[in-house]
Structures are given as C-alpha cells and as structure tokens.
Amino acid sequence: MAEAKIIDGKAYAAALRGRIAEEVASLKAQHGLTPGLAVVLVGEDPASQVYVRSKGEQTQAAGMYSETHRLAADTSQADLLALVAKLNADPKIHGLLVQFPVPDHIRQADVVAAISPDKDVDGLTVINAGRLASGLPALTSCTPLGCLMLLKDTLGDLSGKRAVVLGRSNLMGKPMAQLLLAADCTVTIAHSRSKDLPALCREADILVAAVGRAEMVKGDWIKPGATVIDVGISRFPSRDPVAAAAGKTRLVGDVAFDEAKAVAGAITPVPGGVGPMTIACLLANTVSAAKRLHGIDA
Ligand code: NAP
C-alpha cells in the first residue's frame, strides 16, 4: 500500500492567514473597522510565552490591532477578572483570550465565565459551547476548527464517515466531536476510561488524537486508508545533545508517525500539521467576532 499523504497544515495556515489579511484590509476600507485581539498571560510558563508572542506577531501581520497583557504570576484572581472586564468593554477589542494554564491560585472556570461570549475567540464559554452543541452560529475553539478545515480540504464531504476523537477536553475533544457531528459524521468520543482503544480506533475513517501522550496511537490502531489528525504535543529534549544542553526541545505527537503513515491514507505531521492552524483560526475567529459585533454580514 502507498504511504499516506502528508497533510501540510503549515501551507494551509499560511494561505488562510493571507485570506484573512485581505478580509481585514477590506473591513478597514469599507467599514473603517480594524479587528482587535487582546491576549492575557499570567506568569512565565515558557511554552505559553512562545504561543502568546506568536499570537501577537501574527495578529499584527494580518493588519489587525493587537494587545498583549503580561501579568506577574502572583496576580490575584480579582485583578485578572478586572482586566477581563475592562477588555470586555473596550471597543477596540473584538477577541479576548486568557492563555491557559493560569497559576493554581486562579480558578480557570471563573476566568472563562468572565469573558464576554461575543469576544470569546477560544470558544470556551458555556454560551458558545451550548450554541455549537445546538447547531447555532458560535465562536468555536480554534484547534478543532483548524482540524475540521484540514479534514474537509483532504476528504471533501465528511458525511457518513466514522470519526473517533481521542480526548474529551472542553478545548479540544468535545468541540471537535461537535464539529464532526455537524458535518454529518458518526462520532465516538474516547477518553482515559474507554475500553479497548485500539479496536475503537480501527473503526475510524477519521481519527483525531488529542490526548497529550507521546506516540500512544500505534500503526496497528489505524484502519488502512484512514485520515489521521494528530493534535497532541509533548515536549522532549532535542536529540542533538548540544542543542538539548542549550534547552532546545522537540515536539512529539500522540501518533507514532512512522508506523501510522505506512497504514493511513492521510496524516498530519507534528510539527507542521495542526499546530499552525490554531493561530490562523484565532485570527479568523477575531474577524468573525468583529463582524458580528458591528453587524456586518458574513
Ligand atoms: P487535556 O485537557 O489534558 O485532555 C486530554 C484528554 O485525553 C482527556 O480527555 C483525557 O481523558 C484523555 N486521555 C488522557 N490519557 C489518555 C489515555 N491514556 N487514553 C485515552 N485518553 C486519554 O488536553 P487538551 O487540552 O485536550 O490537549 C490534548 C493534546 O493536544 C495536548 O498534547 C495538547 O498539548 C495538544 N494541543 C495542541 C494544540 C495545537 O495547537 N496543536 C492545541 C490544543 C491542544 P479523561 O478526560 O478521561 O481524563
């Protein structure tokens, strides 16, 4: 059997960012509207710092307004919620996200509940999750949205496909399953208590792995010809000892890539698959939020 097609998320995301930049230019020219994104980071988690920097850079590169708020790790929950309230009311800001995880003394659920659903570009509020589950227009979590775009680009119509989503987080697994259901797939959500994961996965025409366990999904878990979307990111020291000593890391997905690509029909690599789609979809969500807030038709 031929090796799997490698799904190039980096190229797809670059093209998407290009389309978003064009739309931003036209919103400015026709409506005097500059979509604005505010990102709030509490503490110094190194991976979060990298994500937040990229979000700011890519927002500006698309011609949008960008604000990054870096708060000390000991910032109180009350002070964080006060900033969220200020950004909710700021007319320059159409998309607002607080980078998670937040330090232990802050309750993530309280932060999510404080974000205006109209600006909730991570799709985490109960309102947006409920709208998605009810088939209503919603701001939807960026990574699953990116996965769905890659799946539609690879497979076209998803109707009737058997989809298995590994992982049931509010950020990833649950919205992914809802998006696949809305695309008329037959969806199974699996998690840490599911029995016989290999057999479950082998039923899937579409397998989305969002677990965070390096190379958990083996080649023999995959139905021949299936499309595999690997969301997982685990960090390990670089294989190059000099680079490792300098603190360089390498990213590993949830799927044993070399084994899987010999069986699958198409597969996303890590890095270069799902990862680049997340920020591109964040920009897309911010543009959607800005248009909705200003009553501009999609
Ligand atoms: P999470 O909140 O930790 O959720 C992980 C899910 O995996 C949970 O539902 C958990 O089940 C399930 N799980 C854990 N171990 C399992 C096992 N041995 N067998 C079956 N299921 C298992 O993580 P998340 O936020 O959804 O993220 C998942 C992964 O995607 C992480 O590696 C994260 O870094 C990555 N990610 C990447 C991007 C990107 O831009 N590429 C974006 C978001 C997340 P229980 O519910 O039963 O505990």
Domains and CATH numbers, the chain: 31-122 (3.40.50.10860), 142-275 (3.40.50.720)
**33 in Cβ contact with 42 (< 8 Å):** no
Best residue among 233, 235, 279 to mutate for probing ligand 1's pocket (most ligand atoms within 8 Å of CB) is 233
Ligand 1 atom with the smallest distance to the CA of 168 is 9
Evaluate whether 253 touches 211 at the Cβ level (below 8 Å). Answer: no
pLDDT, position 46: 87
d(CA 147, CA 274): 6
Residue with tokens 């190379």: 215
Q: Which atom of ligand 1 is nearest to the CA of 254?
A: 32
Catalytic residue flag (residue 99): yes
pLDDT value for 298 = 65
> Considering only CA atoms, which residue is closest to atom 31 of ligand 1?
212
The catalytic position among 58, 99, 120, 254 is 99
Q: Which two tokens stand for residue 1?
A: 């059997």
How many Cβ atoms are within 10 Å of 31's Cβ, its own excluded? 13
**pLDDT score of 297:** 82
| Ligand 1 center to 232 CA (angstroms) | 7
CA of 267 to the centre of ligand 1 (A): 18
For tokens 């979590």, what's the residue?
141
Helices and strands: H and E segment counts in the chain: 11, 11
Measured by CA distance, the residue closest to atom 41 of ligand 1 is 275
Q: Look at ligand 1, atom 6, and give the residue with the nearest C-alpha.
A: 167
Which residues' Cβ are closer than 6 Å to ligand 1? 143, 166-169, 171-173, 190-193, 197, 210-213, 231-233, 274-275, 278
Q: How many Å lie between the centroid of ligand 1 and the Cα of residue 172? A: 7
Q: Which residues contact 37 (CB under 8 A, 6 or more apart)?
A: 55, 59, 64, 65, 66, 67, 93, 94, 95, 96, 97, 121, 282, 283, 286
**Which residue type is seen at 139?**
L
First to last CA, the chain: 43
What are the b/e assignments for 284-293, b being 16+ CB within 10 Å? bbbbbbbbbb
- Residue in 169, 236, 279 to alter for ligand 1 test, most ligand atoms within 8 A of Cβ: 169
Are β-strands 95-98 and 186-190 bridged in parallel, bridged antiparallel, or unpaired?
unpaired
Distance from C-alpha of 117 to C-alpha of 216, rounded to nearest angstrom: 35
Residue numbers in the chain where pLDDT is lower than 70: 1, 298
Do residues 286 and 94 touch, judged by C-beta distance below 8 A? yes
Distance 167 CA to ligand 1 centre (A): 5
- Report in angstroms the alpha-carbon separations of 142 from 66, 89, 111, 275: 18, 23, 18, 10
Q: What pLDDT digit, counting tens, does each position of 244-280 carry?
A: 999 899 999 999 999 999 999 999 999 999 999 999 9
Which is it for strands 249-252 and 234-237: parallel, antiparallel or unpaired? Answer: antiparallel
As a whole number of Å, the CA-based R_g of the chain is 19
Ligand 1 center from residue 26 Cα (angstroms): 38
> Which of the listed residues 12, 147, 172 should we mutate to test ligand 1's pocket, taking the one with most ligand atoms within 8 A of CB?
172
| Main-chain phi, psi angles of 178, to 5 degrees | -65, -40
Q: Is-contact 10 272, C-beta < 8 A?
A: yes
Closest C-alpha to ligand 1, atom 17: 192
Q: Smallest Cα–Cα separation from 68: which of 92, 84, 52, 46?
A: 52
Determine whether 122 is an active site residue. Answer: yes
Say what the pLDDT of residue 2 is: 85
User: What is the spatial distance between Cα 246 and Cα 229, in angstroms, rounded to a whole number?
Assistant: 31
**pTM for the whole structure:** 0.97
> How far does residue 126's CA lie from ligand 1's centre (Å)?
20
